[in-house]
């Protein structure tokens, strides 16, 4: 096991209440300590979307204890990957970081039935991201 993470990934969406929280939850669950997962929002909500919490609970991941966090310049600077999910131009850009924009439907205001397909798409993208980070370490 490496003493420090292979990479640090910051997931960013507007409210840090749904998509970015689910993505960070999947990455933490699937990669463990190998990859650092963080999330933030340009205009954080008061709480994580209950439908996102329920959808993640269905796949054995508990994000109920998470709190939406404000996106900071420091968080971006400390990350190797910055994955945006609809934060527009609110995300600061720094050289040397890998930026990805994942176009995903916003789960805000939707029930768990509508959040499940968003959750499943996020998991597919997380699986691919982990493979990419692992491949870079082996190269």
Active site residue 27: no
Of the candidates 91, 118, 122, 130, the residue annotated as catalytic is 91
Residue 125, classed as helix, strand or coil, is: helix
Active site residue 105: no
Of the candidates 27, 48, 51, 87, the residue annotated as catalytic is 87
Active site residue 20: no
Which long-range CB contacts under 8 A does 68-72 form with residues at least 24 apart?
A: 68/15, 68/16, 68/17, 68/21, 68/41, 68/44, 69/16, 69/39, 69/40, 69/41, 69/44, 70/16, 70/40, 70/41, 70/44, 71/12, 71/16, 71/40, 71/41, 71/42, 72/40
Beta bridge partners of 123: none
Of the candidates 9, 12, 13, 129, the residue annotated as catalytic is 13
Strand order in the sheet with 35-41: 35-41, 7-13, 81-84, 98-101
Residues involved in catalysis: 13, 87, 91
């Amino acid at each position: 096991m490496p003493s420090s993470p292979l990479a640090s990934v910051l997931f960013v969406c507007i409210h840090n209440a749904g998509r970015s929280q689910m993505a960070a939850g999947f990455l933490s669950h699937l990669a463990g300590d190998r990859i650092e997962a963080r999330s933030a929002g340009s205009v954080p909500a008061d709480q994580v979307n209950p439908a996102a919490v329920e959808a993640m609970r269905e796949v054995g991941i508990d994000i109920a204890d998470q709190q939406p966090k404000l996106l900071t310049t420091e968080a971006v600077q400390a990350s190797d990957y910055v994955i945006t999910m609809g934060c527009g131009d609110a995300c600061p850009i720094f050289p040397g970081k890998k930026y990805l924009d994942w176009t995903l439907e916003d789960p805000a205001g939707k029930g768990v039935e509508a959040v499940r397909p968003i959750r499943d798409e996020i998991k597919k993208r997380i699986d691919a991201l982990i493979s990419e980070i692992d491949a870079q370490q082996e190269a």
